[in-house]
Amino acid sequence: MSNMTENKFEIDKFYDDLSKSWDKTRPKYTQEIFRKIISHLDKNKSYSILDFGCGTGLLCKFISENFPNAKIEGIDISSQMIEKAKINCPNCNFYVGDISSINLPNYDVIVSKDVFNHIDDIHQIISRLNDLLNPKGLFVIANRERERKVKDEIVSTLETIGYEISTEYHSFKPTKQEIDSFIETLSNFKEEHKNIIRKKLESENKYYIIFADKK
């Protein structure tokens, strides 16, 4: 994750704690989301790609396997997540820190999965990512639909900058075993917080994937 805040938890420490078990608790539908994220990319092109909020590098690894000629980089505020990412995808380059304060090159494609629900200033982050995206580049945001205002703010900000946008909607549901496995990783959580998370996971996960083309 990158440049995020949470009211109840210190987000970088939270993901540092989860880094050891993160990969083992990813639900099967994660791979399907990855496939949909890259569905608008041309396999014949050699892209430069940034994964914003890359976690343990699972999406970077998936992209690398499908686009072997791409130059792939990831950024996350969790140093422990990045250590795992370097192992998962050794041919990718990774950065630790806040995207607003790190010098980065420009990219043809920027992808981001499950990050924007944790961002306070969506306009500021999109503005920063827009500066990093090459002309005619592609910005892909995949996010759980928790609060409609998050999606609306993402879309309105991108439209204001001048992006051409298409949005896809998908539904996924983790199995009981997948939920149990994830809850087991939350040993530092209070039971009431675990129950809240379990209830959210037991409901169907609705995802929107925004494909934004830069003019």
Tell me: the pLDDT tens digits for 58-98? Answer: 999 999 999 999 999 999 999 988 999 999 999 999 999 99
Residue 156 — pLDDT band, cuts 50, 70, 90?
very high
Q: C-alpha 77: how far from its chain's center?
A: 12
Look at residue 160 in the predicted model and tell me its pLDDT.
96
What the block records as the tokens of 203 is: 């409901």
Rounded Cα distance, 76 and 60, in Å = 12
Rounded Cα distance, 99 and 53, in Å = 9
Q: Which residue bears the tokens 């900000």?
A: 157
Q: What are phi and psi of 6, to 5 degrees?
A: -130, 145
What is the rounded average pLDDT of the residues 3-29?
50
Q: What is the pTM of this model?
A: 0.79
Nearest CA-CA partner of 139 in 127, 130, 150: 130
Share of the chain above pLDDT 70, in %: 86
Residue 2 has pLDDT above 50, yes or no: no
Residue 205 — pLDDT band, cuts 50, 70, 90?
confident
Rounded Cα distance, 85 and 106, in Å = 21
